[in-house]
Structure 1
Amino acid sequence: MVIRQFEQVLWGVEEKEVAELLPLLFNLNDLQKEANKKYGLAAAKTLELAQSLYEARKLLTYPRTDSHHLTRELAKTIPGRLSALASVTEYEPYTITARAANSPGKRYVDDGKVSDHTALISTNIKPVLDNLPPNERKIYDLVARRFLAIFFPPARYKQTKVITETTGETFLTTGKMELDKGWKTVYESVKNDLDEGEDTGVIPELTRGEQVQTTKTEIREKETRPPKRYTEASLLAFMEGAGRLLEDRELKAAMKEHGLGTPATRAAIIECLLKVGYIERHKKTLVPTAKGETLIDLVPEIIKNPELTGQWEKTLADIEAGTAEPGEFMNGIKQLTANIVELARSQIASNQVQTRREALGSCLLCGKAVIEGKKGYCCSGYKEGCKFIIWKEIAGKSITQSQAKTLLKKGKTGVIKGFTSKAGKKFDAALKINNGKVEFLFTDNNSGKKVSLGQCPLCGKEVTETPKSYSCTGYKEGCKFVIWKEIAGKRISVQQAQRLLTRGKTALIKGFKSKAGKSFDAVLALGQDGKIKFQFISKE
């Protein structure tokens, strides 16, 4: 509401210059959080992309790191890394400043704060960004800009606080004005959310005792809000700092450098929860399912509390120091496991959770919820005559709840292995919904539609299966990337081709044959030129 003008007296004006330091160099956990916030990428996907940029492209350092710092030895290689970045037009202006700057100080270079691997930075290989698939380019850009930014000064602001009094009430007004962009210069050409939510209102020059006028007041009614649901970024941050929840000082100290999981396993933990069906992704948000709530209802408190991890970490530290016995520690874990299993057997979930029937998605015929039944995932509108159903067994293959959800959400699944034809032959296919009915979607030329195995490392288009190979769909535009189905006398499976595309190399494959007819074992690796090469594992 607007009221008559009141006179205000300025009781205090405080101005100070504040500096905002650049965040530390990326470790894996921070890169996963940033990629999730900025691009909505899952933690596991970010790890996969960073691993590809490390193994296949040689453009990033080892990604599975928990360090934010560089060693002094690695810092000696910085000029070569800056030269590689200077070859990219969008980075070249920042490399000029970086080359002219002094070597990074102890905030970024500290041997004592490097564990097994250093922070994530770019290598001395010149990147050709146009040749990178879009998501790989995003991850590389995040790492490259963070690395370049460490050579810039802090961002500087003038922060103003004004205290005024009117009609006996005291008010505080704050404002912030940018004086020097500093390291944020590196992010000017890309959308930057670093300042999101900050108060950047500019306050004019004022002096103590000056009289000003109140021209408008407004009363706002607000309600408290529940905590926001976790995103992968916020859940990763929680897992990393889980020790802060503990009250016991010794346990808190034991977990300070650990948290729940490790940088290399946290993404896998989240993916496991999704795969098993304990949580679901709703856009960027992670939401528990009824199955997940049932689990929490069943398991003992000790399993749900990070204090158990703290106790184990402390005991492991004591074992390392020679003040605890490894045998006693393992016997304790065995006894705890036996107790938990016995307790779980004797428990039942609360009626409230058990009686819920989780909606797997919306019926594609009538829009009602699809729920799980005894023999299938069927529409809850069956009493009104809707006959939509996804049978739990199709062609001898059990269809999981997770696959049914994907089918409802995307209209098709990924390739499912192990269907059996009426003639008794095994075959692999995706499932799709057509006019409310579930049909097979084959990856061969019989269906006219193909399931993507991954992105082409040369042009970024989809790679699909053909009768003789796994080829880029951009062949009409001249892309010649191909993984032959038979290499050195060995059949290459769809799974091996997918792994090669997503991870840059396969697991060890046995049974290749040389031109001389000798058998050998090797890993298939994706070269930077898109060619498939053998990698041999030495037997030591």
Structure 2
Amino acid sequence: MGKILIVAEKPSQAREYAKTLGVKGKGNGYFQNDDYIITWCIGHLLELNRPEEYMDINKVGKKWGLHRLPILPPFKQFKHQVKASTKNQYTILTQLLNSTEVDRVICGTDADREGQLLFQEVWDLVQCTKPLKRLWVSSLTSEAILEGMKQLRTEGDVRGLAQAGYGRSYGDWDFGMNLTEGFSALFGSFDPIRKKPNVVSIGRVQTPTLALVVEREWEIEQFDPVQYCEVEAEFKASTGNYTGKWVVAPGESEGKSTSEGNLQNSNGPVHGLDRVRADAIAAKVKGKCGKVHSIEAKEVQEAHPLLFDLTSLTVAASKRFGMTAEQVLKTAQSLYEKKATTYPRTDCNFLPVDILPKLPSHLRALQIEPYKEWVEEALEKDLPKGKRVINEITAHHAIIPTTERISPEKLSPDEWKLWDMIVRRFLSVWFPPARYETTVVHTQVEGEYFRTRGKVLLDLGWKKITGDKSDEEETPKRRKGKSKNAESGVDGEDVNADFVTLPVLSMEEVVTLLEAMVKEKETKPPKRYTQGDLLKAMENAGKKVEDELLQQQLKGKGLGTVATRPAIIENLLERGYLLQDHRTLQPTEKGKELIRLIKEELPKAQLLVSAEMTGQMEFELAQVEQGKVELEIYMAQIEKAIIEILDELKAFEKKFGKRPLSLAPAKMKGNGNKAVSKKRTSTPEGKEEKKLPSQEMEDSAQSSVRISSTQPEVLGRCPLCSGDIIEGKKGYGCLNWRKGCTFVVWKTPICGKVLSPTQVKKLLKKGSTDLIKGFRSKSGKSFSAYLVWAEEGSAKLKFVFEKD
């Protein structure tokens, strides 16, 4: 009998297989003994060919253009080529597959769609016909590998997974290659800073992810804050002082008093009081006595959090340590390869029933400091069986520590941070809920009511494991609470809201109002995404889809997969669509213009910015994986969508010509992806050289002329000379600048706002913009106004307010 060839994904994985199976001999690119040969792939050894391989270049030319599109090879005719960087290992693997010494093959790559694909590409290209089995493991411990070798899956078991892998690969190629070339030919330009084309990259997952960030930015820009007031009072009781906040009478609807001075925004929720009503309440109760109207006390329980999947782990690490999505994935993968944790690329928060008998082994591996005491306590408890732990799983269960004893000192700082979080989360499922007593008190003064909330810890429960000991020394006797920021729950979440300290009170007790304060507040706009927030938004994109079947498919798989989402964010940063400002993400002008263009002018292409498109593709891929839909049908649907979008782009080009988008900003080295301005000339002393207005005008106009070869859009007629106004780098200028026309509207921010081309069009046509929201005064207050010409024939602008 010949040898069994096991193909791993990476050398580190192959070493673990060899160690477990006792394979000690080493060759060039493989391990071997009398029974096994173990080799590896180093990720994808093959890559899909460039579009030009399917074209008659002499006929269509080398220059990108819509005339060359579509390029849609039949799915059985896609061509692969060996990656130059992995050519040697590819040669070794193909020789071993064809070797007469080998009579059986086991695919041992990572147990997911992408792991299956990178093996399948080579297997199919070589056209190997030897018996094939699949090794499916969730950790690289010897115990898991040996168990996997006893339960090898057949080639038929993973045929659908392989087909889905091809579908993902071919579909993304079709979208990316066709639409990136199409959009770049129509909306790209030459980037003089980088001295290369400004490519408008389009992706099946990348573009709708960009849309999430852009739409959030628009919400922030268009947010109209509402000013409101709150009345806060301090009371003196026999056992101490406490504070309360004015509320409507208990039992009444908060919206009932709107006409009496409560403020309400356009969406309906009440935002406190107006100033007149707040002052009236404060004056009414000043110096008066009140009584305790009601005391409601109840016990609440806070269950342990779910076990980590990759997304929740990333969100937690991003919030606590500021780690990027790419850092978390890389570190989690390293922990997996070191046998410290189970498979990281999982979208599941649960464990299967069959793992229950093995959990004590996982616990015993953690009998080291600082976990030893908790492990011993957990080993005396029953195994966790609740649905928050044991439930239906997907391809892989939640991320937990393995049965391998780990030396923390051998982990890197980042590895230790993640491992510690995973260990504590795992241990917490053996412990009871955290228990609190919450108390809500309503104090009545002169017919007005003030609410006070108190909270006291009864039992830490699982929180003693996660390190949340902020209120460990609390005692139930005092009904003591904390200020808003005093206590953080698991992963930094605030669990105390507006709880304050409460003395012991009794019903109908008379209290003295010491002070009533009116506090001015303002509603806040939505926050920009952090990388962790964006991952969660990508995962939950199904919430924006009405179709229930698609919602179920998107649950946990929204835009992309847990394995691909970090790379998508990195691509958006690298390609100049997003900027990283400390921990938050914001879109560049290039990113905003692309999404605005698709949403406002390209109806067919709107599939590219919707969760529905990605949801439908994920749904169909799942059907392919389950053998319910043939790959040919899936690819036909993709090709149909691409052809419709390309036809729309061709019609746009015929009607409007080319329209370059903004360039991606330059990047500041060593400071994330912050934008930096282009350097200007300097004096010998290093001070910035000041240019005359005429020189700056010429710079702006020349910028417009330099891109005139790409047919910039004419925004309107010049008020001074009736020439064409187009967009330049620093402003909107007249093409007659060489003839002496000095008209230019600068892109300098006006109270925080920069005029868009659409707004300039309105100005030139009607003399006024639409109402613009979100201007900021010097005091920081937000306001809305129209912009109009300050005087006829002038480029100067002034505000006109709605009431005028």
Q: TM-score, normalised by structure 2?
A: 0.43
Q: Deviations over 1:402-458 (max 9, x none)?
A: xxxxxxxxxxxxxxxxxxxxxxxxxxxxxxxxxxxxxxxxxxxxxxxxxxxxxxxxx
In structure 2, the residue matched to 1:14 is: 296
Check if 1:59 corresponds to 2:340. yes
Give the one of 572, 579, 585 matched to 1:273.
Answer: 572
Q: How does 1:390-539 map to 2 (within 5 A)?
A: none
Check if 1:102 corresponds to 2:382. yes
The alpha-carbon deviation at position 268 of structure 1 amounts to: 1.5
Give the conservation status (yes or no) of the 8 Å contact 1:294–1:349. no
Letter in 2 for 1:225: K
Provide the secondary structure at the position in 1 that maps to 2:521.
Answer: coil
Check if 1:156 corresponds to 2:435. yes
In structure 2, the residue matched to 1:75 is: 356
Q: Deviations over 1:5-55 (max 9, x none)?
A: 222232221100000011111111111111111111111111111111111
Give the conservation status (yes or no) of the 8 Å contact 2:577–2:664. no
Structure 1 pair 149/211, CA: closer, same or farther in 2 (3 Å)? same
The alpha-carbon deviation at position 97 of structure 1 amounts to: 1.6
Give the one of 549, 559, 562 matched to 1:260.
Answer: 559
Give the conservation status (yes or no) of the 8 Å contact 2:365–2:403. yes
Q: Indicate the larger mover: 211-220 or 223-232.
A: 211-220
Distance in 2 (CA, whole Å) between partners of 1:173 and 1:303 is 49
Structure 1 pair 283/77, CA: closer, same or farther in 2 (3 Å)? same
Structure 1 pair 37/314, CA: closer, same or farther in 2 (3 Å)? same
The alpha-carbon deviation at position 276 of structure 1 amounts to: 1.6
Distance in 2 (CA, whole Å) between partners of 1:148 and 1:318 is 37
In structure 1, the residue matched to 2:496 is: 198
Give the one of 592, 597, 601 matched to 1:293.
Answer: 592
Structure 1 pair 283/94, CA: closer, same or farther in 2 (3 Å)? same
In structure 2, the residue matched to 1:406 is: none
Give the conservation status (yes or no) of the 8 Å contact 1:28–1:263. yes
Give the conservation status (yes or no) of the 8 Å contact 2:444–2:450. yes
Check if 1:122 corresponds to 2:421. no
In structure 1, the residue matched to 2:451 is: 172
Give the conservation status (yes or no) of the 8 Å contact 1:68–1:119. yes
The alpha-carbon deviation at position 279 of structure 1 amounts to: 1.0
The alpha-carbon deviation at position 314 of structure 1 amounts to: 5.0
In structure 2, the residue matched to 1:208 is: 507
Letter in 2 for 1:380: R
The alpha-carbon deviation at position 290 of structure 1 amounts to: 2.2
Check if 1:36 corresponds to 2:334. no
Give the conservation status (yes or no) of the 8 Å contact 1:243–1:256. yes
Letter in 2 for 1:198: N
Distance in 2 (CA, whole Å) between partners of 1:168 and 1:356 is 62
Distance in 2 (CA, whole Å) between partners of 1:53 and 1:322 is 34
Letter in 1 for 2:407: V
The alpha-carbon deviation at position 387 of structure 1 amounts to: 11
Q: Deviations over 1:121-158 (max 9, x none)?
A: 11122111112110011111010110111111100111
Distance in 1 (CA, whole Å) between partners of 2:668 and 2:556 is 41
- Give the helix-richer structure, 1 or 2: 2
The alpha-carbon deviation at position 328 of structure 1 amounts to: 5.2
Structure 1 pair 264/386, CA: closer, same or farther in 2 (3 Å)? same
Distance in 2 (CA, whole Å) between partners of 1:370 and 1:381 is 15
Give the conservation status (yes or no) of the 8 Å contact 2:468–2:489. no
Distance in 1 (CA, whole Å) between partners of 2:459 and 2:289 is 35
Q: Deviations over 1:181-231 (max 9, x none)?
A: 111101337896535362342323323322222212211111222110000
Provide the secondary structure at the position in 1 that maps to 2:423.
Answer: helix
Distance in 1 (CA, whole Å) between partners of 2:552 and 2:355 is 30
Structure 1 pair 128/190, CA: closer, same or farther in 2 (3 Å)? farther
Structure 1 pair 152/322, CA: closer, same or farther in 2 (3 Å)? closer
Q: Deviations over 1:370-409 (max 9, x none)?
A: 44xxxxxx40356999799xxxxxxxxxxxxxxxxxxxxx
Check if 1:242 corresponds to 2:541. yes
Check if 1:230 corresponds to 2:529. yes
Give the one of 371, 379, 385 matched to 1:91.
Answer: 371
Letter in 1 for 2:563: A
Give the conservation status (yes or no) of the 8 Å contact 2:347–2:556. no
The alpha-carbon deviation at position 327 of structure 1 amounts to: 5.0
In structure 2, the residue matched to 1:251 is: 550
In structure 2, the residue matched to 1:341 is: 646
Structure 1 pair 386/174, CA: closer, same or farther in 2 (3 Å)? same
The alpha-carbon deviation at position 338 of structure 1 amounts to: 1.9
Q: How does 1:371-390 map to 2 (within 5 A)?
A: 371=677, 378-381=678-681
In structure 2, the residue matched to 1:495 is: none
Distance in 1 (CA, whole Å) between partners of 2:336 and 2:644 is 44
Letter in 2 for 1:37: K
Letter in 2 for 1:81: H
Q: How many residues align?
A: 374
Distance in 2 (CA, whole Å) between partners of 1:328 and 1:183 is 50
Structure 1 pair 272/357, CA: closer, same or farther in 2 (3 Å)? closer
Distance in 1 (CA, whole Å) between partners of 2:410 and 2:469 is 20
Distance in 1 (CA, whole Å) between partners of 2:682 and 2:616 is 52
Letter in 1 for 2:448: E
Q: Indicate the larger mover: 155-164 or 291-300.
A: 291-300
The alpha-carbon deviation at position 361 of structure 1 amounts to: 4.5
Give the one of 611, 618, 621 matched to 1:306.
Answer: 611
Provide the secondary structure at the position in 1 that maps to 2:399.
Answer: coil
Give the conservation status (yes or no) of the 8 Å contact 2:291–2:511. yes
Letter in 1 for 2:679: C
User: CA RMSD, aligned part only?
Assistant: 3.4
Letter in 1 for 2:413: P
Letter in 2 for 1:173: T
In structure 2, the residue matched to 1:463 is: none
In structure 1, the residue matched to 2:421 is: 142
Q: Indicate the larger mover: 224-233 or 338-347.
A: 338-347
State percent identity of aligned pairs.
36
The alpha-carbon deviation at position 334 of structure 1 amounts to: 1.0
Give the conservation status (yes or no) of the 8 Å contact 2:290–2:511. yes
Letter in 2 for 1:206: L
Q: TM-score, normalised by structure 1?
A: 0.62
Provide the secondary structure at the position in 1 that maps to 2:366.
Answer: helix
Structure 1 pair 202/244, CA: closer, same or farther in 2 (3 Å)? same
In structure 2, the residue matched to 1:450 is: none
Give the conservation status (yes or no) of the 8 Å contact 2:463–2:469. no
Give the conservation status (yes or no) of the 8 Å contact 2:594–2:661. no
Gaps of 5+ in 1: 372-377, 389-540
Distance in 1 (CA, whole Å) between partners of 2:535 and 2:577 is 17
Structure 1 pair 137/190, CA: closer, same or farther in 2 (3 Å)? farther
